Copies of this chain bind each other. A is one copy, B any other.
Amino acid sequence: MCGTCSGDTAGNAPAAANPTTNNAPPSTSTNNSVYPAQGGPKSSPYQSIQDYLSNVNKFKIIESTLREGEQFANAFFDTETKIKIAKALPVSSPQSYEDCKTICKLGLKAKILTHVRCNMEDAKKAVECGVDGVDLVIGTSSFLREYSHGKSMAIIQETALKVIEYVKSQGVEVRFSSEDSFRSDLVDILHLYKACDKAGVDRVGVADTVGGATPRMVYDLIRTLRGVVSCDIETHFHDDTGCAVANAHSALEAGATHIDTSVLGIGERNGITPLGALMARMIVTAPDYVKSKYNLKSLKSLEELVADAVQINIPFNSPVTGYCAGIHAKAILANPSTYEIIDPHDFGLTRYISINSRITGWNAIKSRVEQLGLSMTDAQVKEVTAKIKQMADIRPLAIDDTDSIIRSYHLDLQEVAQG
């Protein structure tokens, strides 16, 4: 059994905060119609006009670090770590089952969901844990049906409807997801989702289990599904082909309501949509919504906690939290928005501008001179910049080296002035 709990990220309103909006059929979602561009520079085209089905301005997150994340190669979460990460847990071993019960008792500001195979036995164990919701999952592609569980679509549907009815009867929220949705027969899965929707499922899930979907495929499938079911739509994207963040954005544009994430994207193989990267994407698309709803300042420490738990380094290229710098120092110093679309301060971080590269401009050096409290004319700054570039051609310079060159040059200037 590989069931797990997950919940909305801490600090989130619970998923059902406004169930009527999310469960309303698309045609009645008029409160959604054409979002004006909000916040940020008014002329930025990055906050495009959305149509009435788009949810980029009101998406929800299913945080799956302790479900999907435990499928990551290095993951070994003990009870203490799980409680620390504090969201969810698997039922795949006796200890996992106990952990799930423990976390459900924590009273976190998040819904706790379990993730189980779509059968009655697993569903019962999940409900016993006292979770807020049960996520049922089953492979629907011919690949998975043939090689993994061997069930026909008719049997899948029959089982799904029974389990949905049971979970609902226990007063617990229920989601039904197909696995490997993008390699499943379109008519098959639409048929199945429609039946689950009729049976009163709270949410249907679409999963790119092998990570091969493109944003256009995602848009097409989700928009089609949006016209077939009236319940919420959850999406789950693996990152095998580097499209997990873009696919999530595309899904929201098409009318999906929920995105699965994990901290740093940890999960099976190279993982799923990373929470931090999705926040970076969505703060550009919908800045007001993201800033009002998420505690972005805790992102960096959350990533550090998880990176430490699974013994990985935060990738140098992680949006926002990765190791960042730029040569466009002139423009950034004049107006950060010229080359930076995300303000690091929104994430509790400071801007770092490398001034040690050979391609450093004198404006960056001028700024550093001022930071050091020294006084130089522009001509002098240009001269010391040339010295720094010359040195940088010979060996890499640390920030201290640059400062030394600047200070040494400034000292020479004073001596010349005094001499």
Contacts and interface: CB of A to CB of B under 8 A. Distances in A.
A288 interface: no
A335 B270 contact: no
B326 A268 contact: yes
A331 interface: yes
B327 A183 contact: no
Contacts of A41: 143
Interface stretch (A10-18, A23-31, A89-97, A405-413): A89-97
A124 B323 CA distance: 35
A304 to B, nearest CB: 15
Given A73-B354, A144-B331, A216 B253 contact: yes
A341 interface: yes
A239 interface: yes
Interface stretch (A57-65, A102-110, A156-164, A312-320): A312-320
A326 B182 contact: no
Contact of A93 (B253, B325, B393): B393
A361 to B, nearest CB: 9
A368 interface: no
Interface stretch (A167-175, A194-202, A242-250, A376-384): A242-250
B147 A341 contact: no
Contacts of A180: 338
Given A71-B359, A215-B216, A253-B216, A280 B241 contact: yes
Contacts of A390: 93
Interface in A130-158: 142-144, 146-148
Nearest to A220: B48
Contacts of A393: 93-96
Interface in A337-394: 337-342, 352, 354, 357-359, 389-390, 392-393
Contacts of A389: 92-93
- 6 smallest A-B Cβ distances: which pairs? A246-B246, A315-B315, A73-B325, A242-B245, A242-B277, A215-B215
Interface of A: 2, 41, 43-46, 48, 70-76, 90, 92-96, 142-144, 146-148, 180, 182-183, 209-217, 219, 239-247, 249-250, 253, 264-266, 268-271, 274, 277-278, 280-281, 284-285, 312-313, 315-319, 322-328, 330-331, 334-335, 337-342, 352, 354, 357-359, 389-390, 392-393, 395-396
Given A45-B182, A46-B182, 18 more contacts: A45-B217, A48-B217, A70-B357, A76-B392, A76-B396, A92-B358, A93-B393, A143-B337, A143-B338, A147-B331, A147-B335, A210-B340, A210-B341, A243-B249, A246-B246, A264-B317, A265-B317, A270-B316
